[in-house]
A and B are shown apart, each in its own frame.
Chain A
């Protein structure tokens, strides 16, 4: 009996542990940003798919040394460069991001090399960011290694950039602890267009708001939906799909989502814009160039372009908000996207924002506004 019990407990424990290795990992066991350590039972990178999985897992866990060991050395990338390229620099969105998950699609494979497309999902402070990246793979004896190509950043020559932008300061009359104006009239701000769109996720209110005053304004647009009985269905705000600070005469698109509420249920939309007087400056000046509507790898319509930092300071996190118009000049959609690389002085970065398939054919023109977050001025 004694021996039987001992054998049973040992065998059952071992069997359960082995079974545990084959069960699907539970999402409720994974936290982000806490060092998880290496796996005691790592498989051998004997296929391109497995090699890239191990590499991305090591990058995800920030085991740089181990990840660098998975890289084909012939490519001339050093560990520091790989780290910097992966984890970002200049206070960009990537420096705040963690790789949350990935999916791999083999593109082609031969005896000695292969190419795999990785759909990577990054967790960032401004919401999840999807990235599609193609990795080359190389056979190295019995194992496969990753060809990690470093993105070359053009070096800007040393120069002096004159500062000529406008700036509005605000004297609050000794009222400490308040940033908006408490003792002066709010700036004149007006919603110049509003359109309710029925999307797959629910009702979406899109439009534009302008600052008609001669001073900067901080704006937030709110919308309340009600049904035919006058009952309020939901109240939402433009949140981050608006440029909150509007300089005099500036126009910003806005978008307010009402997930789960079909447009057919909505009888009335009440719009509410709440402006406040704030200090602001026109710097940094960010230009939008080379805009065009194009198709992405999945065949979706996207608006592509480049952001050009025309000032002498780094823009850490640029945010693109684009409004799309139909033939009558009516706003039919607003899309936005964050750029995960910083805009260095006089540098440029590409951007792309999606247009829904159902509306792509109706788009006749577009307007792009760039919002930004600066570490220095936050």
Chain B
């Protein structure tokens, strides 16, 4: 009787992990961290919340006067910001951000699972999905970089790719509809992911579909698969062209001609070890130990070779300036892009092979493997979280900017423009809650003022970190204070005080126990509207307010009302081994 109820250990470790269990693990790991608002201190969180706050008040008007003396929000795909804006009506902006980030984090293992099923069996795919919850690169982007849109877009994109494969290999119209809708939503979340994803993610999928067609593992012919891939690409391209039309108009009208802004992800990691730790060791974590296996297994199985190529190219790009390849292939775009996102994509591309590795180990070594893999996974995540506290790139920490907002919102101070110095990403927080506008801002691609685009530095509030270029940019802006109505400057770093003193500003108030000082220039006239040809017309505002969110609504509708009958039509054992090899 007892022997009938005992489950053999080998069965336990060979079975796929249920997706629901993986989602619960993701929720258990990231849910509390997000509800604690850990990403609040990340680089870009306040930036995303600032963009969202504009949609709360002006859903159909993307022209935002609060930064750069006016800029168009059509320069950044709006999907995640609009969802935050919608959630904020119930839970507020901060928690709205955390909810959207949580949704993206939960969509990611689902996407990894479904993407991995293209390449490996269900057990390996489930291991890949579970592993993706603990990725150092994910923790890096969510908690340190605050790259909500990159994470959300990648998660959506991974969910779209299996439909792309299904459409190519089985001509399922529902797969086409779902894949296209999710692809549109992914593009509406982040354009860069779509552009590079076409090559780095969709390329291997197209390749493997052709391989399967060639080997007659699927019913489609190679020509049919390629033809359907072209049809898919045309639909995606046309849709993205229309959905993000205001973005394309903005980027064509004002191409990014500014002087390149330094970013350590473009450094040579061997010559700049801190950058190497930040952009290689932390994102990969224990995956570094699996690199030989990824290479070995990826090269061994013919079906995995496209994935290996995709991983290798993406990983080399993720090394930034350590190799010359990104610069050769990207040209000037090398100086505009940042490369941490490539490392994130590389880890995602590696996950199917890593899942295969984990599944094999679990079959062979069972409990020992489970313990080892768990330690590796948790260690990777822990290292990325610990790095938040000790890395030299960490944001300056929380700063109470409420007195600054209170100052700007009283006594007609918002009739003038302001500047913050030494505020880091808290600039966005100040901007979110004041009516006054600033000449600075955190989104480099939207800058049009010559004082900012001609010097090769990013935000004025962080000018000192860009050396002479940054300080020259700041000096140039201060010189033209009267032109922009720039009367008030808030300083959280005494570094800037000598310049302000010599340039004719005087300290007038102190906030937050002396951590912030307010400076004023007496002879500055009130700010007036700066004329710009970048103001989007009303029809663009209407498109911007309906189509991106509409694309996501369509994807949700199709997923909810037309659930999948089967996930992925093909499950090929990529490296068949004798069963007795896996049984201890």
Cβ of B573 within 8 Å of any chain A Cβ, yes or no, is: no
Cβ of B569 within 8 Å of any chain A Cβ, yes or no, is: no
Chain A residues with CB below 8 A from B321, complex form = 20, 23, 25-26, 29
Bound-state CA distance A19–B316 (Å) is 13
B263-299: CB near A (< 8 Å → 1, else 0) gives 1101110111111110000000000000000011011
Asked if residues B323 and A19 are in contact (CB atoms below 8 Å), the reply is: yes
B494-517: CB near A (< 8 Å → 1, else 0) gives 111111011110111100000000
Cβ of B466 within 8 Å of any chain A Cβ, yes or no, is: yes
Asked if residues A29 and B262 are in contact (CB atoms below 8 Å), the reply is: yes
Bound-state CA distance A31–B411 (Å) is 39
**How far, in Å, is A13 (CB) from chain B's closest CB?**
7
Chain A residues with CB below 8 A from B509, complex form = 177
Chain B residues with CB below 8 A from A375, complex form = 494
Number of interface residues of B (CB under 8 A): 72
Binds B, one of A67-75, A106-114, A236-244, A362-370: A236-244
- Of A98, A239, A371, the residue contacting B467 (CB under 8 A) is A98
Instruction: Knowing A28-B260, A124-B471, A235-B483 are in contact, say whether A34-B299 is a contact too (CB < 8 A).
Output: no
Chain A interface residue number, banded: 35 or more
Binds A, one of B29-37, B226-234, B474-482: B474-482
Chain B residues with CB below 8 A from A36, complex form = 264, 267, 272-275
Asked if residues A28 and B498 are in contact (CB atoms below 8 Å), the reply is: no
Asked if residues A180 and B522 are in contact (CB atoms below 8 Å), the reply is: yes
Asked if residues B316 and A237 are in contact (CB atoms below 8 Å), the reply is: no
Chain A residues with CB below 8 A from B295, complex form = 6, 9-10
Instruction: Knowing A28-B260, A29-B267 are in contact, say whether A125-B496 is a contact too (CB < 8 A).
Output: yes
A180, A274, A378: residue with the most chain B Cβ atoms closer than 10 Å: A378
Asked if residues B262 and A28 are in contact (CB atoms below 8 Å), the reply is: yes
| In the complex, chain A residues 17-72 whose Cβ is within 8 Å of any chain B Cβ | 17, 19-21, 23, 25-41
Cβ of A121 within 8 Å of any chain B Cβ, yes or no, is: yes
A93, A98, A178, A237: residue with the most chain B Cβ atoms closer than 10 Å: A237
B478-491: CB near A (< 8 Å → 1, else 0) gives 11111100000000
- Of B465, B504, B508, B523, the residue contacting A32 (CB under 8 A) is B465
Cβ of A317 within 8 Å of any chain B Cβ, yes or no, is: yes
Asked if residues A2 and B300 are in contact (CB atoms below 8 Å), the reply is: yes
What residue of chain A has the Cβ atom nearest to residue B474's Cβ?
A125
Cβ of A100 within 8 Å of any chain B Cβ, yes or no, is: yes
Bound-state CA distance A189–B370 (Å) is 81
Chain B residues with CB below 8 A from A371, complex form = 502
Bound-state CA distance A124–B468 (Å) is 7
Chain A residues with CB below 8 A from B323, complex form = 13, 16-17, 19-20
Asked if residues B274 and A127 are in contact (CB atoms below 8 Å), the reply is: no
Asked if residues B264 and A31 are in contact (CB atoms below 8 Å), the reply is: yes
B234-267: CB near A (< 8 Å → 1, else 0) gives 0000000000000000000000000011111011
Chain B residues with CB below 8 A from A2, complex form = 299-300
Asked if residues A276 and B522 are in contact (CB atoms below 8 Å), the reply is: yes
Asked if residues A6 and B275 are in contact (CB atoms below 8 Å), the reply is: no
Asked if residues A20 and B498 are in contact (CB atoms below 8 Å), the reply is: no
**How far, in Å, is A260 (CB) from chain B's closest CB?**
11
Asked if residues A9 and B296 are in contact (CB atoms below 8 Å), the reply is: no
B315-328: CB near A (< 8 Å → 1, else 0) gives 01001111111010
Asked if residues A23 and B327 are in contact (CB atoms below 8 Å), the reply is: yes
B521-548: CB near A (< 8 Å → 1, else 0) gives 1110000000000000000000000000
Bound-state CA distance A36–B504 (Å) is 35
Chain A residues with CB below 8 A from B327, complex form = 23, 26
Chain A residues with CB below 8 A from B93, complex form = none
List the 10 shortest-distance A-B pairs measured between CB atoms, nearest first.
A37-B273, A37-B274, A16-B323, A28-B260, A32-B467, A29-B266, A5-B299, A240-B502, A274-B523, A123-B467
- Excluding A29-B262, A178-B520, 6 further A-B contacts by CB distance (< 8 Å) are A10-B295, A20-B321, A27-B262, A100-B467, A319-B502, A373-B498
Between A and B, 18 residue pairs with Cβ closer than 8 Å are A6-B295, A20-B268, A21-B270, A28-B261, A28-B266, A30-B264, A33-B467, A40-B276, A41-B270, A123-B464, A123-B468, A125-B471, A218-B504, A218-B522, A237-B479, A237-B504, A239-B503, A242-B504
